[in-house]
Amino acid sequence: MGEYLMLELKHVDSFYGDSQILHDISFAVAKGSLTSVVGRNGMGKTMLLKTIMGLTDRVCGSIALGVRQLIDLPTHNRAKVGIGYVPQGREIISQFTVKENILMGCYARQDGKKKLPELALELFPYLKENLSRRAGLLSGGQQQQLAIARALASKPDLLLLDEPTEGIQPNIVEQIERVIIQLNQEFELTIVLVEQNIAFACRASQQFVMMNNGAIAATGQIDKLSEDLVRQYMAV
């Protein structure tokens, strides 16, 4: 784990219109670490990532990427300073080819270069072999691979992943989980992962953030994510 912070939130409140959706969120993510955000559905996990990306109406508090304060930056500029984001639903463009979808991620590159990310194509051989295929013809799991590849095309310092294995066929779930761990452990990419699968979160992460009703119920090293906490905040 790195010696300095990649991402730090201090006393963050987030709003849609007049409705407050996040309450007094404070936590830090070390450079090179993987943090899993866990909790029941509807408790604020997705809203946390959207808030980091500047996709809510209003935010109070402090969100810093390294030494850079993000709170007043528009979303496209947050991507340009080094945040890759894979949202729920993937949001790939079905009429575009695999190659065209991946290259869209290059618009956020700091050096402005428009080239396919070799790392992403190594990690996802199917994409490499099907660059000219229309993205709408891909399975859900293949589209998820494409969304991750597109995020990697921006050469991010921090990757935000919102439930990347939800609703995907099991053989591709295993591959995506393996790639996430590889990106973090081998390539030292800092990752914040929204994840419902506690077994995978425990296997992949160094730290967890447990969300409950738009606030942080617990946070700490992954070995502190106890069965009691899971039962209290995740059992239906």
CATH of the domain at 189: 3.40.50.300
Report the alpha-carbon distance of residue 41 to residue 130 in Å, rounded: 34
Give the integer Cα–Cα distance in Å for 110 and 155. 8
218 belongs to a structural domain: yes
Residue 194 domain-assigned (yes or no): yes
Q: Give pLDDT, residue 123.
A: 95
Mean pLDDT, the chain, integer: 93
Overall domain count for the chain: 1
* Average pLDDT value for residue range 51-72: 96
**pLDDT for the residue 1:** 34
Whether residue 79 contacts residue 154, with contact meaning beta carbons closer than 8 Å, is answered with yes
Query: Residue 195 sits in which domain range?
Result: 5-92+157-234
List Cα–Cα distances, 201 to 62, 121, 191, 221, in angstroms. Answer: 26, 25, 12, 12
d(CA 224, CA 88): 27
In a domain, 9, yes or no: yes
Residue in 12, 91, 17, 1 with CA at minimum distance from that of residue 49: 12
* Residue at token pair 């969300």: 211
Domain assignment of residue 180, yes or no: yes
Give the pLDDT band (50/70/90) at residue 2.
Answer: very low
Check: pTM over 0.85? Answer yes or no.
yes
Half-sphere exposure of 215 (CA within 13 A, CB side): 5
Instruction: Confirm whether 85 is domain-assigned.
Output: yes
pLDDT given at position 235: 83
Domain-located, residue 126: no
Within a domain: 83:
yes
Query: Do the domain assignments include residue 25?
Result: yes
User: Is residue 209 helix, strand or coil?
Assistant: strand
